[in-house]
Amino acid sequence: MRRIAANYIFPLTSKPLKNGIIEIDGHGKILDIIDTNGTISESRNLEFYNGVLVPGFVNTHCHLELSELKNVLEEKRGLPFFIQQMIEYRKQSKTNRTFQAIKDADELMAQNGIVAVGDIVNTNTTIETKRNSKIYYHSFVEISGLGTDYRERFNAAKKLYDEFFEQGLASSIVPHAPYSVSVDLFRLIKDEAVRQGSILSIHNQESKDENELFLLGTGNLLKTFKNLGIDLSSWKVQGKTSLRTIIDYLPTKNHLLFVHNLYSTVDEIQQVSKTFPHSFFVFCPLSNLFIENKLPDINSFLDFSDKITLGTDSLASNKSLSILNEMKKINKAYPTIAFEKLLQWASLNGAKALNIDHHYGSLEKGKAPGINLISDFDFDVMQITENSAVKRVV
C-alpha cells in the first residue's frame, strides 16, 4: 500500500483537503482518503508532494491517427483550408512513421496525466497502440458522405467498428460534422446508436463558414467542397444554422459530445441541453486558435458547466497533447473561472461523457482514476500558473 499527500487534494466529489492523505493499493485503487484537518501529525511511509493532487485527466476529443502531422499543416487559415489539407493528406499511403507517431503521442498523453481519451478514427492504424496502452480509449468511428453511396459508407464504418470491437476496444459509429453527412447517412447512424445505446461525437460549429453554408448556401466551405470535386447536387440551403438543422437527426437519449462550439449561441446551447439531457460540450481551445484563431465564448456555456469537457484535438492542429495546457489557455482568457471548475471539466465531466465515471474522474474510495500532481500552483489564489506542470504519480 502507498500513502501519498500534498499541500492540497482535490477529490472533486467532496471539498478540497489541505494536507490530505490518499491510501492506494498496488493496482492504483483508492483504499481511503484521510482528512487530516490541515495538519499531518504522522509520516509512516508517507510520500509528500509540493503541489496539488488531482484525478487523472480525460481528453474527450483527439485524433490519434493524425499524430504524424505535427508541425506539418499551416496555421490560422480557417477550417475550409484545413479540411482541404486533411483530405489531401488522407490520400497518401501510410508508412511506418505513422505507427511510430501514434505510439509516441499515446506515451506523451500518458506522461501528461491523461488516463482516458475519446478518439476519432477513420482507419485501423491506432488499434495496436490502444491494445497496449496505459490509457483507456473510446474510439469514435467517424463517417462522412453527401452522396448516394451512404449505405456503402456506413457498411465500411461498421466493418472498421468490428475491428475495434473484436480487440476488446470500446467504440461507436459517429457522424463527422453537420456539413459532411447526408440526411440518409445521419438516419443510419442514429438507428445504430439507438440500437446500441452508444456514445456519439460530432464536430459542431467550428467555423463561421459552416453556418454560412447552411444559412445561405455560400462561403469558403462551399468553395472548398467544389474544389475537391465533392458532389453537392443534393445539397439544399436550410435557412437555419447547422446545429438547428441536425437536431432531429440525433438520438435524444444517448450520450452526445458536441465538439468545438465556436459559433454556438446561447439559445442553441439551451436547446441542445433541453433536447439532449446527456449532451456535453467539448472545448479544444488550442486547436481552435491553430485553425480559426478564435476561442469559444465560454461565458455563454457557464450555466451548463456540468456539461463542459476538454479535448486536445490532434497534433495536426495542436503542438501538444496536454489537457493542462488547455486549462492554462482557458485560465488566461477567462481568469475568473475557478481552478476546481476547470478541473471538473478536465476530469470528472469527461469521465461522465465517456460513461466511465464509475472508475475515472474523481478521487473516491474504490476508484482507480489515476492521480496527477500539479506543481507550481499558486496557493494564494488557488489557481494554476503559466509555469504549472503535471506529473502522474499513480
Task: Give DSSP secondary structure letters for 179-202.
Answer: GGB-HHHHHHHHHHHHHHT--EEE
Half-sphere exposure of 25 (CA within 13 A, CB side): 8
pLDDT number for residue 248:
95
Domains in the chain and their CATH numbers?
Answer: 2-54+369-392 (2.30.40.10), 57-353 (3.20.20.140)
What sign has the CA pseudo-torsion 341, 343, 346, 348?
negative
Mean pLDDT, the chain, integer: 96
Give residue 351's pLDDT band: very low, low, confident or very high (50, 70, 90).
very high
Task: Please report the pLDDT score of residue 389 as a whole number.
Answer: 98
Q: Of 187, 203, 192, 204, which Cα lies nearest the Cα of 165?
A: 192
Listed in order, strand segments (DSSP E) in the chain are 2-9, 17-18, 21-24, 30-34, 46-55, 57-62, 114-121, 136-143, 170-175, 200-204, 256-260, 279-283, 308-310, 371-375, 389-392
CA-derived radius of gyration, the chain? 21
| DSSP bridge pairs for 282 | 259, 309
Evaluate whether 360 touches 116 at the Cβ level (below 8 Å): yes
C-alpha span between 376 and 383 (Å, rounded): 10
List the single range of 42-46, 121-125, 139-143, 297-301 with lowest mean pLDDT: 42-46
Mean pLDDT of the region 141-152: 95
pLDDT at residue 90, as a whole number: 74
Per-residue pLDDT at 185: 97
| Residue of 201, 178, 176, 174 lying closest to 188 (CA atoms) | 174
Q: Give the mean model confidence (pLDDT) for residues 227-234.
A: 81
Grid cell at residue 391: 506529473
Burial zone of 368 (CB within 10 Å; 0-12 exposed, 13-18 middle, 19+ buried):
middle
Phi-psi region of 2 (alpha: psi -120 to 50; beta: other; left: phi over 0): beta
93 confidence band (pLDDT: 50, 70, 90):
low
Query: Could you tell me the end-to-end alpha-carbon distance of the chain, in angstroms, rounded to an integer?
Result: 12
Residues 287-311 have a mean pLDDT of: 98
**pLDDT above 70 covers what percent of the chain?**
99
The residue count of the chain comes to 394
Residues 203, 142: contact at Cβ < 8 Å? no
| pLDDT bracket for residue 236 (50, 70, 90) | confident
Lowest mean pLDDT segment, chosen from 33-47, 69-83, 289-303, 323-337? 33-47
Residue with cell 509540493: 50
- pLDDT tens digits, 170-217: 999 999 999 999 999 999 999 999 999 999 999 999 999 999 999 999
Name the pLDDT band for 94 (thresholds 50, 70, 90): low
Q: How far apart are CA 297 and CA 291, in angstroms?
A: 16
> What is the rounded CA–CA span in Å between residue 174 and residue 192?
10
Where helices occur in 197-252 by DSSP H, the ranges are 208-216, 220-227, 242-246
